[in-house]
């Protein structure tokens, strides 16, 4: 099981454990709750916005969704591209099908899905095909040998850093807004994070594009790439790491994303952990 897949169920479990930790109990407008870090709540909310046909990320579908969301392809071009892949969009309904995003005329849904897909793409180990190519000479063992392609690597690392930086900025913006509303339940904060991200999704996509353009002259060094870790640095002060504890980005040694921090700051949300129990108790009493 990959780290990315594990995080989908680990996030709510970790947060629920936090709600049960009485040592962090706080009083919020007459309510009892705990202060929980905003970052994992926002991460979980954005992850849930990614379309997952059959429970998996679908690169083919999302590449076409993003092409439509960015205005890079027309509906006819997407339909033709997928038909060549054996997918007939004329048979797909506008709602209720895993591929409905590709025929639904609601552009905002495509933009949100694309932004969420891109935002979470740095929260998983990259594939070798992203920056490696097969060696020209066959090895003696008969197994395929892969070499790092410097041009592909530089392009890929530039994109990864642009996305991670955009995540830090926009997740911090969402956290700032969520902090102003205290005493919500975990589910309510998650829903608010979804709404906030959907509202800024168009700006997020543009920001990623701008950050990549700004970093084209940067130089990157791949430090580590294995089955469990991915790490690189840039000559403008960034350290990007993905491992067992998820994504961590630092800027000039300051935590820019990860370990509960965004842009060097810890954002805490005062979560009402007992509202659901109180409602259930009231229903039992009135039954």
User: C-alpha angle 154/158/163, rounded to 5°?
Assistant: 150
- For the chain, give the mean pLDDT: 86
pLDDT-wise least confident of 180-184, 255-259, 273-277: 273-277
Check residue 5 and give its pLDDT: 40
pLDDT bin (cut points 50, 70, 90) of residue 138 is low
Residue 6 pLDDT exceeds 80:
no
Give residue 28's pLDDT band: very low, low, confident or very high (50, 70, 90): very low
Of residues 233 and 283, the one with the higher pLDDT is 233
The whole-angstrom separation of Cα 142 and Cα 123 is 33
What is the reported pLDDT for 279?
Answer: 44
> pLDDT tens across 104-133, in order?
888 999 999 999 999 999 999 999 999 988
Provide mean pLDDT across the span 242-254.
Answer: 95
CA gap 233, 223 in Å, rounded: 7
Q: What is the spatial distance between Cα 257 and Cα 39, in angstroms, rounded to a whole number? A: 9
d(CA 155, CA 220): 10
Q: CA 259, 197, 193, 266: dihedral to nearest 10 degrees? A: 30
Beta-bridged to residue 35, according to DSSP, are 270
Task: Output the pLDDT for position 136.
Answer: 74
- Percent of the chain, pLDDT > 90? 67
Label residue 33 by pLDDT band (50, 70, 90): confident
Tell me, what's the pLDDT at 9?
A: 40
User: What does the pLDDT look like over 55-65, one tens digit per residue?
Assistant: 899 999 999 99
3-state helix, strand, coil in the chain (%, to 5): 50, 20, 30
> Out of 47-51, 95-99, 262-266, which region has the weakest mean confidence (pLDDT)?
95-99
Helix (H) or strand (E) holding 191: helix 186-214
Q: How confident is the model at residue 18 (pLDDT cuts 50, 70, 90)?
A: low
Please determine, for residue 222, whether its predicted confidence score (pLDDT) is greater than 80.
Answer: yes
pLDDT at 27: 47
User: What average pLDDT does range 156-165 have in this prediction?
Assistant: 97
pTM of the model: 0.85
State how far the alpha carbon of 184 is from the alpha carbons of 34, 120, 126, 173, in Å. Answer: 11, 25, 36, 18
CA 241/CA 115 separation, integer angstroms? 21
The pLDDT value given to residue 267: 97
Query: Does residue 281 register a pLDDT over 50?
Result: no
Q: What is the mean pLDDT of residues 136-156?
A: 80
pLDDT at 224: 95
Q: Where are the beta strands (DSSP E) in the chain?
A: 25-28, 31-37, 132-134, 146-148, 220-225, 230-234, 238-243, 246-251, 254-258, 261-262, 265-266, 268-272
Counting every residue written for the chain, the total comes to 287
> Higher confidence at residue 32 or residue 219?
219
d(C-alpha 250, C-alpha 253), whole Å: 6
Radius of gyration of the chain from its Cα atoms, rounded to whole angstroms:
21
């Amino acid at each position: 099981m990959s780290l990315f897949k594990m995080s989908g169920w680990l996030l709510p479990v970790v947060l629920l454990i936090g709600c049960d930790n009485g040592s962090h109990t706080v009083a919020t407008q007459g309510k009892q709750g705990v202060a929980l870090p905003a970052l994992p709540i926002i991460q979980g909310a954005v992850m849930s916005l990614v379309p997952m046909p059959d429970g998996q990320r679908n690169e083919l579908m999302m590449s076409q969704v993003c092409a439509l969301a960015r205005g890079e392809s027309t509906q006819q071009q997407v339909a033709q591209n997928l038909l060549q892949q054996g997918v007939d969009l004329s048979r797909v309904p506008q709602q209720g099908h895993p591929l409905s995003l590709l025929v639904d005329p609601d552009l905002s849904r495509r933009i949100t899905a694309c932004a969420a897909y891109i935002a979470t793409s740095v929260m998983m180990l990259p594939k070798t095909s992203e920056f490696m190519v097969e060696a020209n000479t066959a090895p003696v063992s008969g197994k395929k040998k892969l070499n790092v392609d410097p041009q592909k690597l530089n392009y890929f690392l530039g994109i990864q850093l642009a996305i991670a930086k955009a995540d830090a900025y926009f997740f911090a913006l969402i956290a700032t807004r969520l902090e102003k509303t205290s005493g919500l339940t975990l589910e309510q904060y998650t829903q608010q994070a979804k709404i906030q991200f959907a509202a800024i999704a168009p700006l997020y996509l543009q920001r990623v594009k701008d950050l990549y353009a700004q970093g084209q002259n940067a130089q990157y060094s791949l430090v580590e790439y294995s089955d469990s870790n991915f790490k690189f640095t840039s000559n403008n002060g960034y350290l990007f790491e993905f491992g067992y504890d998820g994504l961590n980005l630092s800027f000039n040694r300051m935590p820019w994303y990860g370990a509960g921090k965004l842009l060097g700051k810890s954002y805490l949300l005062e979560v009402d952990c007992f509202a659901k129990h109180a409602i259930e108790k009231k229903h039992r009493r009135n039954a």
